[in-house]
């Protein structure tokens, strides 16, 4: 009871400032830029309804007469539409902002869902072992055998055929998130199981077992915090992949309805107008998507390096 942990007296903030991680972070300029960019995207997505000039999802406000206008700085441009308009007269800038909401929303929720399921199953499989481990890991392997896009297409098709048409607009988000989460849980489960196998034979776990803690408590309080490092890295990379997967699905036309274009949908629409020289419909959302994924990936890379002592 009298033993005090050496860092117990210092605030969390203090320990963060002193940590190697922050140091490494500040030293890499690229990482700082990536973090700032990600932050900007997050803010833009969060505040889209406030900062977007128009609401592109309000079909009543669209006018065909404003369709296919080039960006404001070109000769035929309209100052009202900074980045131009698409074939239905939607403001590209506003659609990108609203599309970001969808992209980031899908990324965050699907990754959180997949991570939760994957970590829980991974810890249990690794700690309990035996038959439970076998069942969970075989399930994960079956899961990994199916390409992600295929599962998403399959799920989307099934749900669409059984769900009332009137409500389909509302469930598009849920379906995509569920599909992507289903695609990814196995990766977490496998990684976490591996780390758990290592951790469970460490002395502190053995000690906890000796003093009679229940397995649930050991897994939750002792094993879990020590296996989370790699998970953070996978989560960041998967976040970027999920955003791309959503764009791919929407590009293929199974994601969001055409009246609510996400970044992927917008790129698909623009793809049809590339030959006619209307490059702005596809270029701006394309750049936005590419930068977002790049920034998140750089962050993920940095996190991997920072958490891996051997790479330091």
Query: What are 280's two structure tokens?
Result: 């702005």
Query: Quick one: which segment of 20-28, 145-153, 161-169, 206-214 binds other proteins (CB under 8 A)?
Result: 161-169
Which of residues 216, 274, 287, 290 is near other proteins by CB under 8 A?
A: 274
Q: Is residue 77 involved in binding other proteins (CB under 8 A)?
A: no
Q: Which two tokens stand for residue 72?
A: 């404001």
Q: How far is the CB of 278 from other proteins (least distance, A)?
A: 7
Based on the shown chain and the rule CB under 8 A, indicate whether residue 168 belongs to the binding site for other proteins: yes
Counting contacts by CB under 8 A, is residue 273 touching other proteins?
Answer: yes
How many angstroms separate the CA atoms of 115 and 181, rounded? 8
Least CB distance to other proteins at residue 63 (A): 8
If binding is defined by CB under 8 A, does position 162 make contact with other proteins? Answer: no
User: According to CB under 8 A, which one of 28, 55, 68, 226 is a site residue for other proteins?
Assistant: 68
Shortest gap between Cβ of 45 and other proteins (angstroms)? 24
Q: Does 247 bind other proteins (CB under 8 A)?
A: no
169 binds other proteins (CB under 8 A): yes
Does position 276 interact with other proteins (CB under 8 A)? The reply is yes
Which region among 37-45, 57-65, 120-128, 216-224 touches other proteins (by CB under 8 A)? 57-65
Q: Measured from the CB atom, is 98 or 188 closer to other proteins? A: 98
| Alpha-carbon gap, residue 210 to 155, rounded angstroms | 46
Span interacting with other proteins, options 105-113, 130-138, 265-273, 294-302, rule CB under 8 A: 265-273
Alpha-carbon gap, residue 191 to 20, rounded angstroms: 24
Question: Shortest Cβ distance from residue 87 to other proteins (Å)?
Answer: 6
- Of 67, 74, 158, 174, which one interacts with other proteins (CB under 8 A)? 67
Compute the distance between CA of residue 241 and CA of residue 180 in angstroms, rounded to an integer. 9
Residue with smaller CB distance to other proteins, 56 or 300: 56
Rounded Cα–Cα distance for residues 156 and 271 (Å) = 23
Q: Quick check: 272 binds other proteins (CB under 8 A)?
A: yes
Residue among 130 and 164 whose Cβ is closer to other proteins: 164
Q: Closest separation between CB of residue 91 and other proteins, Å? A: 14
Is there binding between residue 74 and other proteins (CB under 8 A)?
no
**Which residues in the 80-99 window bind other proteins by CB under 8 A?**
87-89
Closest CA to 237 of 152, 178, 296: 296
List interacting residues with other proteins (CB under 8 A).
58-60, 62-65, 67-68, 87-89, 164-166, 168-169, 253, 257-259, 271-276, 278
């Amino acid at each position: 009871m009298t033993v005090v942990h050496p860092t117990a007296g210092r605030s969390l903030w203090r320990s963060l400032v002193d940590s190697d991680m922050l140091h490494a972070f500040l030293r890499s300029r690229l990482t700082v830029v990536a973090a700032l960019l990600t932050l900007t995207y997050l803010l833009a997505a969060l505040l889209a309804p406030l900062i977007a000039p128009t609401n592109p999802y309000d079909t009543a406000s669209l006018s065909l007469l404003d369709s296919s206008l080039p960006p404001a700085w070109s000769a035929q441009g309209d100052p009202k539409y900074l980045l131009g308009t698409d074939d239905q007269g939607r403001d590209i800038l506003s659609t990108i902002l609203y599309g970001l909401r969808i992209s980031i929303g899908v990324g965050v929720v699907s990754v959180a869902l997949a991570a939760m399921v994957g970590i829980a199953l991974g810890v249990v499989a690794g700690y309990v072992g035996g038959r439970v481990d076998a069942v969970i890991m075989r399930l994960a392997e079956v899961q990994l055998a199916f390409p992600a896009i295929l599962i998403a297409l399959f799920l989307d098709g099934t749900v669409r055929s059984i769900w009332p048409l009137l409500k389909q607009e509302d469930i598009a988000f849920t379906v995509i998130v569920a599909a992507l989460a289903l695609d990814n849980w196995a990766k977490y489960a496998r990684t976490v199981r591996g780390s758990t196998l290592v951790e469970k034979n460490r002395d502190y776990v053995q000690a906890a077992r000796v003093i009679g803690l229940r397995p649930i408590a050991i897994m939750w309080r002792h094993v879990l915090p020590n296996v989370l490092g790699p998970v953070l890295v996978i989560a960041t990379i998967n976040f970027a992949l999920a955003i791309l997967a959503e764009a791919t699905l929407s590009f293929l036309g199974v994601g969001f309805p055409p009246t609510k274009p996400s970044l992927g949908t917008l790129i698909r629409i623009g793809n049809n107008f590339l030959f006619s020289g209307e490059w702005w419909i596809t270029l701006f959302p394309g750049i936005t998507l590419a930068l977002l994924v790049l920034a998140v990936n750089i962050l993920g890379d940095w996190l991997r390096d920072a958490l891996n002592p051997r790479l330091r």
